[in-house]
Amino acid sequence: MPSVDAYAAELLEGLNEPQREAVTHEGGPLLVIAGAGSGKTRVLTHRVAWLVRTGQVGLGEILAVTFTNKAAAELRHRVGDLLGRSTRGLWVSTFHSSCARILRVEAERLGYSRQFTIYDSDDAKRLLKRVLDSQGADTKRFTPGSVHNRISDHKNRLRSVEQAAEQAAGFYDRTVVDAYRGYQQALVANNAMDFDDLMGRTVDLFERFPEVRERYRNAFKHVLVDEYQDTNPAQYRFLQLLCMDDPMHLDPDDEFGPLAGEEPGHRNLMVVGDDAQSIYGFRSADIRNILDFEDDFPDAKVVRLEQNYRSTQHILDAANGLIEHNANQRKKHLWTDLGAGDPVRVRALPDDHAESRWVVAEIERLAGEGAPLGEMAVLYRTNALSRAIETALTGAELGYQVIGGVRFFDRAEVKDVLAYLAWLLNPANTVAFARIVNRPKRGIGDTTVGRLLAHASTLGVTPLQVLDDPAAAGLKTAAIRSVGAFAEQVHELREAVLAGSTIADLVEAILRVTGYRAELEASNDPQDEGRLENLEQLHAYADEFDHEDASAEPDDERASLRPLDRFLQQTALLSDADQKGDHPDGTVTLMTLHNAKGLEFDSVFLIGCEDGVFPHSRAIDAGELEEERRLAYVGLTRARRHLSLTWARRRGLYGPPQSQVPSRFLRELPVEALDESSPEALSGGVQAVPRPRYDAGRIGRVGGGGGGSTSGRTLAELGLRRGSELGSAGRAAAGGAGDEAPDVVVGQRVRHGKFGEGDVVTVDDNVIVVDFDEHGERRLIAGFARLEPV
């Protein structure tokens, strides 16, 4: 029983009833459905403080997991404020850094050294490219990026290579599985883990070593999770292993109940999230984790937070009305006592330039009324849309910041220096080696690198060990001289590492000894100045790390890892400096809807609300409309006071401008939430005639006679009808015979989209049927046609 004194009770002040219920929940699984702006961080922080103050657990017995470093830092900070004392000992960290921390200690059990390197997705793709090349895969069809996505999905769903192989259906899948196998072996050989491995290997660890699992389960008496709707199956399993009895989900063959000799799980799992804001399905996040929580944990308590403290009611009505169109969603109704406020505005503009000008004019108008620019945001589905707005803002001499793009630690020059550090620490890391061996250029080309790597691999040693005998690797005189010079630099740098130089000094040494800085200084490429600045920034960052590290108190992690290990881990798991959340004065913020999650602004402009742009055409093709709608929901609920949605009748995304159709999401907004001018923008002045509804259904294969160009022909003209089998005549009708795959014509636009077998793609009333050969290669398009209204 918790002891509630006045000191603890103070934590409940100012909380509404459901918030209080969540904070004081006495144990067992707890799901908090926290609508947008309903105070979920408050609930999380107050609950941590409550558990401690009521004497239920010590600070060090709580694990709070988030997805971002920023969220973790904020959580820690706010708990510290509530408790009025240091939060040392409290584990608040991201899924990935919690796992990294655990794995550092336990790495040897899994065949890694504790100095293992963490590969970011760029490193991972480089390694994967080597694997694909070595397996003779066609890297045009099997790009490292696409194959990595597939492998990542396997890993996030906890599929081993063998399990992936079992499910592999076609040629494509089998190639992916081969790559997966080779890639995984390569990772181990490099003593490296990718991001997905951090989760997956921790799960492995807990499953294979029950005593390790039990140690961590005993260490954390309460586990709290933020943004639960974005968890993937691996993360779900991780939580289960930490909190529950022997887990049964995902592996129904396991027996229920604790393993022999194991204590039962404490079941103190609190998850907070909003299914309506699940927007990371493409990264294998599984919304079912939050939708099915009560099924997974029948004794779960569910608390719903629906009072919104952010937006006015019109904005919430728009959001509520929109999300109701999702079937696979928990019913929810956000409300506020902040009043009705301004209605939401929908505007149609002739083209993208006009759209930008309208938005900028509105920004100026609001600014003229005294609204700060820092409280305004322009949101869009894809980064490409920022351009026109940027131009218009620049023309109006308004300040703006664009969030997104290349992150600091992802910049090539920064990654080069980090790769030097990583390789000096872990010479088995061939990705780092290949990256730096000719940077700056020192006459060691791809062939030489290949020979060095092959030679090292034959001898079963690291590249470092073959540098001193380049002749043995079969190199010629010129290459031997180049490699020799590189080897000397490496020896000098290694000595500095062994001597325990500070990281800032190591960075400095790398820039000097390798001639990296000299090369940039000598260059007349204007961009190189910026690169030098970035490197100075990296140096300053390292210096700061050195100082913090020197003054920090020792803990278990420090005892087992050297500063350089920790530095590299931090840079690998840290994204950009958390600029995302701050709203600099006099600066409008531009960003994608994904980046906007968790933020709020007085005024929000959501641009590019056109079918094909938002919802994105690829999402439409893939049948991911519900996730797109959630993305729209996220966008709408960012606004506190003013919300405007715009679309352009014509937009040139790539190439010449194309006619656009207003986003279906606009039509789903309840008119009561909109202003009086909006309906006009929805019906569209020029396109006043409402589009007839067609029921294309699944046509399946079509075929028949015909001939000539297919563009603009009807199904009948092509001799095609629903359900007919495709014959050779049909192929001719489709505009391409045999294996030649013609371009797909959508409206007036040619695209090379990916479609599934027998897919029917409708754009307006144009229908395209696509067929695939056994390799998944698009073989022919049966027709571009006009369907009759039903």
Partner DNA sequence: TATTGCCTCGTTTTT
Partner DNA sequence: CGAGGCAATA
Q: Which residues bind DNA (CB under 7 A)?
A: 67-70, 94, 96-97, 121, 139-140, 195, 227, 230, 279-280, 282-283, 285, 381-384, 404, 407, 438, 441, 443, 445-448, 479, 573-575, 591-592, 594-595, 597, 616, 618-619, 622, 624, 652, 654-655, 751-754
Instruction: Say how far apart CA 711 and CA 648 lie, in whole Å.
Output: 26
* Percent composition of the chain: helix, strand, coil (DSSP 3-state, to 5): 50, 15, 40
**Any idea which residue has 């599985």 for tokens?**
177
Exactly one of 197, 227, 230, 627 is catalytic; name it.
Answer: 227
- Does residue 316 contact residue 46 with C-beta atoms inside 8 Å? no
Known catalytic membership, residue 646: no
Output 474 or 586, the one with its CB closest to DNA.
Answer: 474
Least separation in angstroms between CB 215 and DNA: 23
Known catalytic membership, residue 589: no
Least separation in angstroms between CB 435 and DNA: 14
**Any idea which residue has 């550092």 for tokens?**
104
Output 382 or 394, the one with its CB closest to DNA.
Answer: 382
Least separation in angstroms between CB 682 and DNA: 24
3 state DSSP class of 280: coil
Known catalytic membership, residue 227: yes
Paired sense of beta strands 117-119 and 749-751, if any: unpaired
User: Any binding-site annotation on 36?
Assistant: yes
- HEC string of 566-596 equals HHHHHHHHCCCCCCCCCCCCCCEEEEEHHHH
3 state DSSP class of 737: coil
User: Any binding-site annotation on 37?
Assistant: yes
Least separation in angstroms between CB 268 and DNA: 24
Least separation in angstroms between CB 379 and DNA: 10
- Does residue 223 contact residue 30 with C-beta atoms inside 8 Å? no
Residue type, 17: E
Residue type, 709: S
Instruction: Say how far apart CA 632 and CA 610 lie, in whole Å.
Output: 12
**Any idea which residue has 């799980």 for tokens?**
265
CA distances from 335 to 16, 302, 313, 634 (A): 13, 19, 7, 16
Paired sense of beta strands 301-305 and 269-273, if any: unpaired
- Does residue 673 contact residue 382 with C-beta atoms inside 8 Å? no
Known catalytic membership, residue 41: yes
**Any idea which residue has 């067929």 for tokens?**
771
Residue type, 776: G
Residue type, 2: P
Rounded to a whole number of angstroms, the distance between the first and last alpha carbons of the chain is 66
Tell the burial category of 207 from Cβ atoms under 10 Å away from its Cβ (0-12, 13-18, 19+): middle
Q: Which ranges of 95-232 does DSSP label H, i.e. alpha helix?
A: 95-106, 121-134, 144-156, 161-167, 171-189, 195-208, 210-219
Output 517 or 630, the one with its CB closest to DNA.
Answer: 630
Least separation in angstroms between CB 654 and DNA: 3
Instruction: Say how far apart CA 631 and CA 280 lie, in whole Å.
Output: 9
Exactly one of 178, 197, 226, 628 is catalytic; name it.
Answer: 226
Known catalytic membership, residue 246: no
User: Any binding-site annotation on 40?
Assistant: yes
Q: Which ranges of 584-720 does DSSP label H, i.e. alpha helix?
A: 593-596, 617-621, 625-636, 664-667, 678-683
Tally the C-alpha atoms within 13 A of residue 419's C-alpha that lie toward its C-beta.
24
Helix axes 412-425, 503-513, angle to 10 degrees: 110
Least separation in angstroms between CB 187 and DNA: 15
User: Any binding-site annotation on 136?
Assistant: no
CA distances from 541 to 100, 212, 613 (A): 21, 35, 39
3 state DSSP class of 577: coil
Instruction: Say how far apart CA 135 and CA 142 lie, in whole Å.
Output: 11
Instruction: Say how far apart CA 380 and CA 613 lie, in whole Å.
Output: 9
User: Any binding-site annotation on 551?
Assistant: no
**In this structure, what token pair is assigned to residue 499?**
């001597």
Exactly one of 19, 24, 40, 240 is catalytic; name it.
Answer: 40
**In this structure, what token pair is assigned to residue 738?**
């045999």
Paired sense of beta strands 62-66 and 222-225, if any: parallel
Output 472 or 716, the one with its CB closest to DNA.
Answer: 472
Least separation in angstroms between CB 52 and DNA: 26
Instruction: Say how far apart CA 731 and CA 783 lie, in whole Å.
Output: 9
Output 362 or 627, the one with its CB closest to DNA.
Answer: 627
Least separation in angstroms between CB 66 and DNA: 8
Least separation in angstroms between CB 384 and DNA: 6
Least separation in angstroms between CB 498 and DNA: 29
Known catalytic membership, residue 381: no
Instruction: Say how far apart CA 625 and CA 612 lie, in whole Å.
Output: 11
Residue 666 main-chain phi, psi, to 5 deg: -65, -40
Q: What is the CA radius of gyration of the chain?
A: 29
Exactly one of 19, 277, 329, 589 is catalytic; name it.
Answer: 277
Nearest to residue 321, comparing CAs of 682, 634, 38, 672? 672
Output 197 or 214, the one with its CB closest to DNA.
Answer: 197
**Would you name the residues annotated as active-site residues?**
40-41, 226-227, 277, 638
Binding-site members are: 34-41
Binding-site members for ATP are: 34-41
